[in-house]
Amino acid sequence: MSRIGKKLVSIPDGVTVTVDAGVVTVKGAKETLTMPIHDAVSVNVSEEGVSVTKNHNAKIASAMWGTTVRLIENMVTGVTSGFEKILELNGVGFRMDVQGKKINLALGFSHPVVVEIPEGLTVTVEKNTLKIAGADKQAVGQLAANIRELKPVEPYKGKGFKYHDEIVRRKEGKRAAAV
């Protein structure tokens, strides 16, 4: 039995959750998020909160039971307080700038790198820190991962993108052999 699946997702004030034709819609003060429901589970909205039940005892139903509860919980959190990822860029000559719906990055390549900002996300740059914020947890995390993938932090000098709370284990470089 899933301990997460048995949980009831509470609905805070100002948030409405509706289920219609296999789609869950969570509407908050600023944002509206939607998610399709897998056929193996069913979602019920009541005054106490949102509950998810399995439609049958197949393996996929057990897997989707807890997953659906967590996804709905993340949607409710997203429309109330939102999610944020912070990336730090370290390295001499590395720069970043936001212009409209694009992020311009100078990462030591022979060309500038331009990254499109998806709809619903906001990006701000302060010195060497890039803040990505939005209501959709998956979209925020995916944009942060895509940017980090362009120049991941390397262990010798610590250059590249790293998450704000990430700890990079530094390695010692090569030594000259004693003659």
Sign of CA dihedral 162, 97, 75, 12: positive
Q: Do 60 and 11 lie in a common domain?
A: yes
Q: Of 80, 108, 141, which marks where a domain is finished?
A: 80
| Segment 111-160, tens digit of pLDDT | 999 999 999 999 999 999 999 999 999 999 999 999 999 999 999 998 99
Q: Do 76 and 23 lie in a common domain?
A: yes
Query: What CATH number is attached to the domain comprising 71?
Result: 3.90.930.12
Identify the domain containing residue 33 by its residue range. Answer: 3-80
On whether residue 21 sits in a domain, the answer given is: yes
On whether residue 176 sits in a domain, the answer given is: no
Question: Band of the pLDDT at 177, cuts 50, 70, 90?
Answer: low
Q: Do 104 and 54 lie in a common domain?
A: no
Q: Do 19 and 52 lie in a common domain?
A: yes
Q: Do 61 and 117 lie in a common domain?
A: no
On whether residue 146 sits in a domain, the answer given is: yes
Q: Do 24 and 58 lie in a common domain?
A: yes
pLDDT of residue 178: 63
Average pLDDT over residues 74-90: 95
Q: Do 96 and 75 lie in a common domain?
A: no
Q: Which residue has the tokens 């704000």?
A: 164
Average pLDDT over residues 72-98: 95
68: number of CA atoms within 13 Å, CB side? 31
Asked if 11 contacts 76 with a C-beta cutoff of 8 angstroms, the reply is yes
| Segment 10-20, tens digit of pLDDT | 999 999 999 99
Q: How far, in Å, CA of 14 to CA of 158, rounded? A: 44
Domain count, the chain: 2
